[in-house]
Structure 1
């Protein structure tokens, strides 16, 4: 079914109908800009119907159709924390309204039930239904797309199935409408050996945190635009190490002065435990080692809340600088290296956290946000110059390259360029000297990295 809504949604084509009651009520669709939506019929009145159009990635839509993510959570955890509310006239007379909504504006009565999972057994292995006309008369779709290059006419599905052991017909009755699908024959499909790693559907982070009285942090890695349940071992290990490093050095408490302080005995309180994996591209669940106190917080709750705020602020460099303004160098450097790893490995991240007292936050780092943040962070530099005087041994001079090497009395190695004033001088090495040197320091305020260069201005033999 093709239909059109006002922009920014635009022209739409239905992909899969999940529920049909006098017309499609829950379905997935694709617009002219290749954006997919999961659509829920929310409410009706004598004049209008209300729908939620939730933009979804291929990955998230797959999870819904597999029964791993509920229709409720698709809305509550909408990507970019927003979706569209569409108001349509019941009798087709009047204007269609499209309004952007954020998840904070949701009311409980607008949401599907908590157990609103798609029955994946009805859709597993089915072809997508495209280019079809759905009417309340019970007319079947005119054709089916079995694979990318194969189209089957609806009137011939029985014959196709009987002549091809790889497919079989499956029909689903829903009110007066009959869905007919071509399903991959499981016996044929399973004849080829394939090793499968089955990751379970994860328990909601808020329920888990409350039940076990610990903070729960879920990290979902979407690798290279795919949705396979696998990840490079180095990338996973490095991501977990840098996550723990950030948790180690993001402060637990604020001092009265407003600055952060790292408690000397905080290392044990800050440990995260990896407790399992779940169905995402690759999902890892972490829990705090310490349990909740009398106020239902753990020693780590404030830190993890700050970590999620850090993730969420990454799309805005001004906000990112504000969040990181009181971070120490170790935390800043850990996050910079964490972002670089995600960027180099082409990994996107969804992070979800809950505390035992029902604090909750979710953040998404897309490839674009990650690369733009790294670029912006690399520009945040500070340059300082100073003249230093040191005593030491001049141990090397390269006239052609105008370079010098000096070892100070404190056994520090200083090397750099020779100034133009000294380039015509004759040097005897090794030579005990007092040297005047210009030290230039370039510091990256976001990544914590710095580079130091030296220019030899003047020497005096001792």
Structure 2
């Protein structure tokens, strides 16, 4: 036998708080997908069925019942709508039944005892403290993203204005870059076409407590044209996968880097900016994705330690090509303490500059500016997800006098 009625006009119910328990919950609050709250009490049990009373209740009235301002019995006998649902839950698997009973016809023995009160004070109901992205997604038939932040501050339910602006901008920029990459025309810089940004636009539904949370959603489908929702939904799935990988960056380093390579440098830079906003504000992230498609969505935690490691993975460069050669040139710059140099090639007039390796310091520190030397150079082409075209760096390995 199920505790909650199935396939009735009360909808799909979920218990949100239990007040009394006798083998099973006997007095509790529940809610259906449309958001209707019920205060529920067990009335009686026979061999055939259990009888329950479900009173529809507003948030304000439930708040008063929970805080002890309204007697439990009174919540039923003086229901806001003047009636209570009598629910019969079958013991043999036959369909559950629901009927309306007007308050004046309630049986006294079914009700809580007189002068019985709850005492939760000002403690909020769990559903008022934490947003449920899947529930909201079903209600509005849109993709919903809940981003909850945990700041290391005396009041974690408040967010700095600068952080809030930065995080919202970085999230939207990231989705725009993803949309361009998915569309097949990624560019490293410049304006992203409006034809893409209109499809990847997110809206703010609101904020919520429980640390500090932002509730975001895709645009309503009735506003979209040309199947635009498919683009933002693909982008959302890519975002979801990147955040999941970032939760364990040490084990996912290679696939995280490969995914960013595939999505091109603009996406990698935008994702790095998103993580950097979190890191600078020293906040953990809890990401909750709700979708009207029950096969999509989920939750993931991104602690500050993982954010830091993910940034290291994204920023870490790899050697693509390494070659060594000698050049003849004039030493025009030298800084031993910073281990840096600058040489002007006598044949090509090209300037070389970079780092001096530790082993070369003894031979370099006695060198004289404006003198021509034979320099051994190690050329390294370094690449990263954010700089796919690569960057050449020149390390000075050795320096010896030139004799013409």
Question: Is 1:272 aligned to 2:195, yes or no?
Answer: no
TM-score (norm 1): 0.49
Across the aligned residues of Structure 1 and Structure 2, the Cα RMSD in angstroms comes to: 5.3
3-state SS of the aligned residue for 1:204? helix
Q: What is the aligned partner in structure 2 of residue 350 from structure 1?
A: 287
Matches within 5 A, 1:103-122: 119=59, 121-122=61-62
Q: What is the aligned partner in structure 1 of residue 171 from structure 2?
A: 243
Quote the offset at 1:19 in angstroms: 6.8
- Alignment equivalent of 1:386, drawn from 308, 317, 323: 323
Distance 1:289 1:430 in 2: 68
Q: What is the aligned partner in structure 2 of residue 457 from structure 1?
A: 398
3-state SS of the aligned residue for 2:175? helix
Quote the offset at 1:231 in angstroms: 0.8
Please identify which structure carries the higher helix content: 2
Distance 2:234 2:58 in 1: 36
Distance 2:192 2:338 in 1: 50
Task: Give the 3 Å change call, closer, same or farther, for CA 219–451 of structure 1 in structure 2.
Answer: farther
Distance 2:325 2:245 in 1: 40
Distance 1:308 1:400 in 2: 45
Quote the offset at 1:208 in angstroms: 3.4
TM-score (norm 2): 0.54
Tell me which structure has the larger Cα radius of gyration: 2
Q: What is the aligned partner in structure 2 of residue 171 from structure 1?
A: 71
Matches within 5 A, 1:416-435: 416-417=356-357, 419-420=359-360, 423=363, 427-431=367-371, 435=375
Question: Is 1:310 aligned to 2:267, yes or no?
Answer: no
Q: What do the CA deviations read for 1:173-220 (whole angstroms, capped 9, x no partner)?
A: 2723463245769xxxxxxxxxxxx9999992354355xxxx654434
Distance 2:59 2:19 in 1: 9
Q: What is the aligned partner in structure 2 of residue 147 from structure 1?
A: none
Task: Give the 3 Å change call, closer, same or farther, for CA 375–453 of structure 1 in structure 2.
Answer: farther
Name the structure, 1 or 2, with higher relative contact order (CA <8 Å, separation 6+): 2
Distance 1:116 1:412 in 2: 78
Distance 1:330 1:406 in 2: 34
Q: What is the aligned partner in structure 2 of residue 17 from structure 1?
A: 18
> Where does the alignment leave 5 or more consecutive residues of structure 1 unmatched?
1-14, 29-39, 41-69, 75-89, 91-114, 128-167, 186-197
Task: Give the 3 Å change call, closer, same or farther, for CA 424–180 of structure 1 in structure 2.
Answer: closer
Distance 2:358 2:300 in 1: 50
Distance 2:161 2:353 in 1: 38
> Where does the alignment leave 5 or more consecutive residues of structure 2 unmatched?
1-15, 36-44, 46-54, 77-110, 123-128
Contact kept? 2:246, 2:310, Cα under 8 Å: no
Quote the offset at 1:331 in angstroms: 2.4
Quote the offset at 1:387 in angstroms: 2.0
Q: What is the aligned partner in structure 2 of residue 106 from structure 1?
A: none
